[in-house]
Structures are given as structure tokens and as C-alpha cells.
């Protein structure tokens, strides 16, 4: 490795010795590889100029073929010594795979049929000194076949995303789509009169969800602060203040496990609409998903892990207890608490006997039903013990007006008809806080939030949508690490762990 880098550094000096700066300041790529490949005829008369990274080189003495890759694709170039000149051709011979160059010249089609730029002029834009993993590929019946499969080296892909992006065009596509989805989500909300606001990432009192927070310290104030686990309590303060439609689209941080659908920092949309209830939030959820899906896939049907799923609204709605009956064949109403507990203990032998009936129902749903939900489906009316921030169900006593949308077993959001009775809100939060001894994840009571509630919040619908999972669903990626450019990983080297 060190040898390879030394060899390339020597080439930099050789290039400089020929009077050429291997790190110039700018270049004007007037064309893209994609537009040229799409319509070579158009460029047969006037020369094109493109820039990109050298991805393969086939030297043949006084001529050479190579491929260069830009943001949108690859194109073959053809370099002849008698076309570019003696000195430039010796510079050409100092180039490696991975270098970035700009080329100019007319376009032609080789007699094997590949669109190619006949290089009349080229410039070195960046000499690379660290070799890329070499991927050999071949087109077979229009299908791209990779011989050395770099995708299998996931560690390299996540730790060195630059390399992953260079080598795997489909990875670039996922992040391009992620950007389009964020744009689309914002557009749906702006079109409906929502305004984007920001809530503190550093919070004195964390809340709005049950999760372990990251703790940090502010030196000047000498106080401990927590990273935001949810923007909820701050967004509601803004609704109290008269910003009737607000949303926060930003990172949340939860100090918990990492798996295929969880990353410690993740992107969340939370939207609050005054004078609305959870029915309005269902319509909003459908709009956010459908609009974004149309934007990146051009259709409302997605292909997800081999399944075809249609997102066309209206999505199915099913109450949680009905879903348990339908998918697990259990009629919760006819079971005693003891029977429920024993059913939960089939899946979690350590389930504490003190669990309330509502929590047992929620657990049973999680163990027996969640995976079965192909969806899209809104699971509604959760047991009241599952959240203190939600209003009671209008139809089912002991339950609340909440829903979670599911697609292929993924919980992709959460919404309430928000609690706005300040007296009841205080009771619920204080009752929950009393359980902190038992459940370390219960947040402390946020007095300032309760004070805002006492001033009065209009009836409000609130919606949270996990954006990373949304990107997974809309781009058919099985791991959250494939939709977050720099997922949280253990330090590769133990020494890194001590580096601040």
C-alpha cells in the first residue's frame, strides 16, 4: 500500500517536471457523460468537454482507451499520441485509475458500437495517490456484471463512503433520491401552509418520547444538557404561541441500540396542525408518502424486498385490538390480564408481572402482529398507557386517539390527536414520571412545557415520520446504513476511541 502511494507521488513530481500543475484551480465541463451517451449524434460536429474520474485504462502503445466517470455516468475516451501531442501523451502515461481529468474533443462511435470521445486535449484536474479498489465489470446482454464484488465489503463501504460512492453508482442514486424525498416532504408541508421551524438540539429537559438521551455539558453555564430525543414539546410551545402549522425536519438522538432500522442519530419529521385531529394526520401521512414516492419512483407502487406494494390512498385503517384479532387470532377483550401476561411471556419470558393491561396489549401487538403488516396500514387506538401526550379515544374507553403507519413490518411514523387539557396533561406526565425508578427511559416532567399547556393549546393533530425509514421504503434498501451517508460505527481502531 505504502509502495503504491510512493509510486504515485513520484508521478506527481514527473508531471510537475513536464511543466504541468496536477492540481489546477478550475475547469468548465460543458457536457455530462449522460447527455452524450444518450444522443451521440448531437455531438458529432462540435467538440464536447467533460470532467470526471478515470475508472479504467487500456493502453495500447501510442493510443489508449479509458473510461471516465462523472456524477451521472461513464463514457469511453480515446487518446492518440498524434492527436494530443508528444508531451501531453507522456503525461497521459503518468495517469492512474482514480485520477480526475477534463477532456475535450469530438464524439464518435467505435466500430464495436461504443460512444467515445476522441480526445484532442486533456487536463489533469487531480492526481490521486491512494488507489481505488479495482472493479472489473462487463456488460452482458445489457446487464452490468461486477467481477470483483465491492458491495460485499460492507465495512469498507460504510467506513469509506467516498469509495463506495465512486464504485457503486446505485449508492449515488440512493443519496440523490434521499435529497429529492426531503425536498418533496418540505413541499407537501409548505403547500399546506406549514412553516419550518427549528427546535433546540441541546435541551435542559429532554422529552416527547421514551428514550435514553445523550448527555453533554456546557462549560460556560456549567450545566448538563441533553441532545434532543424529540422536538415534540417545543413544537407544541410554538403552536401555543400561534404558529398554527409548524414542522421540524432534523436530527434526533437516542442513546440506544443499533440495528437494521435504528441509528443513534436519525432524521425525523414532526408536524403539528392546529384545529386538526389524527384523521387529518392520516391524510397528511398519505400525502407525504405518495408525493415523495411519485417524485423518486414516478409511480405510487413500490417494490420492497421483492414485494409489490401500492401506496395509493386511502390506506387501510385498523384498530390495534382488531389487528391482534385479525393477524394473531386473539380476541383481547375476552382475556384476563393473567392470560395476556402468559401470552407475552411466550415471547419475553422476563416480562414483569406489574405490566399494565394496556402495555400487555401493546407488547402482544408488537410480538405477534407488527411483522405481518404488509400495509400500508394505519394501526389506530393504542392503549392509553402507551403515551401521556395523546387524547383519549372517542370510541374505545381505555385507549387513545393515536396511530402508527406500517409498511412491510416497518413502523414508519406515529401520530396523535394531541392532549391539550392542561390539568389532565400534568396528571399524565406526573404519573409517568413516578415510574422513573422502574423505567429509566421515562423523561422528567418539563415544567415549562406544562406552563405553555396552561396558557392553552388549540386542538391539534401531530405527526412524526421517520425519514430514514421512509428513504429505505422508497428506495428499497434493507438497512438504515444504506440511507445514512455516515452511519454510526464502532471506531475501527481502538486508538480512535480515545481521540476527542
Which parts of 147-166 interact with RNA (CB under 7 A)?
147-150, 152-156, 158
| Closest distance to RNA from the beta carbon of 228 (Å) | 14
Question: 386-397 in b/e burial notation, b at 16+ Cβ within 10 A?
Answer: bbbbbbbbeebe
Residue of the chain from 25, 333, 353, 490 that contacts RNA (CB under 7 A): 490
| Closest distance to RNA from the beta carbon of 299 (Å) | 28
Residue of the chain from 12, 20, 135, 201 that contacts RNA (CB under 7 A): 135
Choose among 269, 227, 230: nearest CA to 249: 269
Residue of the chain from 388, 405, 461, 462 that contacts RNA (CB under 7 A): 388
C-alpha cell, 123: 487536463
Map the footprint of RNA across residues 215-274, applying CB under 7 A: 254, 256-260, 262
From residue 87 to residue 116, the character string flagging contacts with RNA as x (rule: CB under 7 A) and all else as - is ---------xx----------x-xxxxx-x
**For RNA, how many residues bind (rule: CB under 7 A)?**
79
| Closest distance to RNA from the beta carbon of 272 (Å) | 15
Map the footprint of RNA across residues 278-307, applying CB under 7 A: none
Closest to RNA by CB, 135 vs 335, is 135
Map the footprint of RNA across residues 337-356, applying CB under 7 A: 347-348
Closest to RNA by CB, 72 vs 114, is 114
Residue of the chain from 29, 73, 131, 325 that contacts RNA (CB under 7 A): 131
Residue 391 found at the interface with RNA (CB under 7 A): no
Distance CA(467)–CA(250), nearest Å, equals: 9
Map the footprint of RNA across residues 423-462, applying CB under 7 A: 441
C-alpha cell, 111: 466500430
For 242, left (φ over 0), alpha (ψ -120 to 50), or beta? Answer: left
Return the range that interacts with RNA (CB under 7 A); candidates 16-24, 144-152, 282-290, 449-457: 144-152
| Closest distance to RNA from the beta carbon of 232 (Å) | 8
C-alpha cell, 348: 419475553
Amino acid at each position: 500500500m505504502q509502495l503504491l502511494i510512493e509510486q504515485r507521488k513520484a508521478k506527481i513530481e514527473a508531471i510537475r517536471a513536464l511543466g504541468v500543475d496536477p492540481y489546477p484551480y478550475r475547469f468548465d465541463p460543458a457536457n455530462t457523460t449522460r447527455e452524450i451517451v444518450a444522443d451521440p449524434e448531437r455531438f458529432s460536429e462540435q467538440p464536447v468537454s467533460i470532467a470526471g474520474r478515470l475508472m479504467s485504462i487500456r493502453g495500447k502503445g501510442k493510443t489508449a482507451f479509458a473510461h471516465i466517470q462523472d456524477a451521472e455516468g461513464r463514457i469511453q475516451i480515446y487518446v492518440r499520441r498524434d492527436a494530443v501531442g508528444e508531451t501531453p501523451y507522456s503525461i497521459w502515461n503518468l495517469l492512474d485509475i482514480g485520477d480526475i481529468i477534463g477532456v475535450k474533443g469530438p464524439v464518435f462511435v467505435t466500430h464495436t458500437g461504443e460512444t467515445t470521445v476522441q480526445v484532442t486535449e486533456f487536463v489533469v484536474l487531480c492526481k490521486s495517490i491512494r488507489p481505488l479498489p479495482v472493479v472489473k465489470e462487463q456488460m452482458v446482454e445489457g446487464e452490468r456484471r461486477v467481477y470483483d464484488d465491492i458491495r460485499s465489503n460492507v465495512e469498507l463501504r460504510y467506513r469509506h463512503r467516498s469509495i463506495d460512492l465512486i464504485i457503486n453508482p446505485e449508492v449515488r442514486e440512493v443519496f440523490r433520491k434521499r435529497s429529492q424525498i426531503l425536498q418533496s416532504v418540505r413541499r407537501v408541508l409548505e403547500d399546506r401552509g406549514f412553516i419550518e421551524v427549528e427546535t433546540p438540539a441541546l435541551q435542559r429537559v429532554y422529552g416527547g418520547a421514551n428514550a435514553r438521551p445523550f448527555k453533554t455539558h456546557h462549560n460556560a453555564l456549567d450545566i448538563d444538557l441533553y441532545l434532543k430525543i424529540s422536538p415534540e414539546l417545543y413544537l407544541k410551545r410554538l403552536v401555543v404561541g400561534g404558529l398554527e402549522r409548524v414542522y421540524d425536519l432534523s436530527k434526533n438522538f437516542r442513546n440506544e441500540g443499533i440495528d437494521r432500522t435504528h441509528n443513534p442519530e436519525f432524521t425525523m419529521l414532526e408536524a403539528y396542525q392546529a384545529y386538526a385531529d389524527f384523521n387529518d394526520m392520516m391524510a397528511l401521512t398519505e400525502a407525504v408518502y405518495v408525493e415523495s414516492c411519485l417524485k423518486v419512483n414516478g409511480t405510487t407502487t413500490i417494490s420492497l424486498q421483492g414485494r409489490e406494494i401500492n401506496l395509493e390512498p386511502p390506506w387501510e385503517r385498523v384498530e390495534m385490538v382488531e389487528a391482534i384479532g385479525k393477524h394473531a387470532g386473539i380476541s383481547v377483550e375476552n382475556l384476563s390480564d393473567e392470560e395476556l401476561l402468559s401470552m407475552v411471556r411466550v415471547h419475553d419470558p422476563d416480562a414483569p408481572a406489574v405490566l399494565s393491561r394496556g402495555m400487555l396489549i401493546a407488547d402482544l401487538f408488537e410480538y405477534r402482529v407488527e411483522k405481518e403488516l404488509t400495509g400500508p396500514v394505519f394501526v389506530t387506538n393504542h392503549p392509553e398507557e402507551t403515551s401521556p401526550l395523546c387524547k383519549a379515544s372517542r370510541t374505545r374507553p381505555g385507549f387513545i386517539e393515536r396511530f402508527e403507519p406500517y409498511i412491510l413490518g416497518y413502523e414508519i411514523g406515529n401520530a396523535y390527536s394531541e392532549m391539550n387539557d392542561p390539568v389532565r396533561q400534568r396528571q399524565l406526565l406526573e404519573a409517568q414520571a413516578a415510574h422513573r425508578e422502574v423505567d429509566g427511559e421515562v423523561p422528567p416532567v418539563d415544567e415549562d412545557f406544562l406552563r405553555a399547556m396552561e396558557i392553552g393549546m388549540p386542538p391539534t393533530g401531530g405527526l412524526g415520520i421517520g425519514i430514514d425509514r421512509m428513504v429505505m421504503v422508497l428506495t428499497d434498501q434493507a438497512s438504515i446504513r444504506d440511507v445514512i451517508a455516515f452511519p454510526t460505527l464502532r471506531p475501527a481502531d481502538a486508538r480512535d476511541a480515545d481521540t476527542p
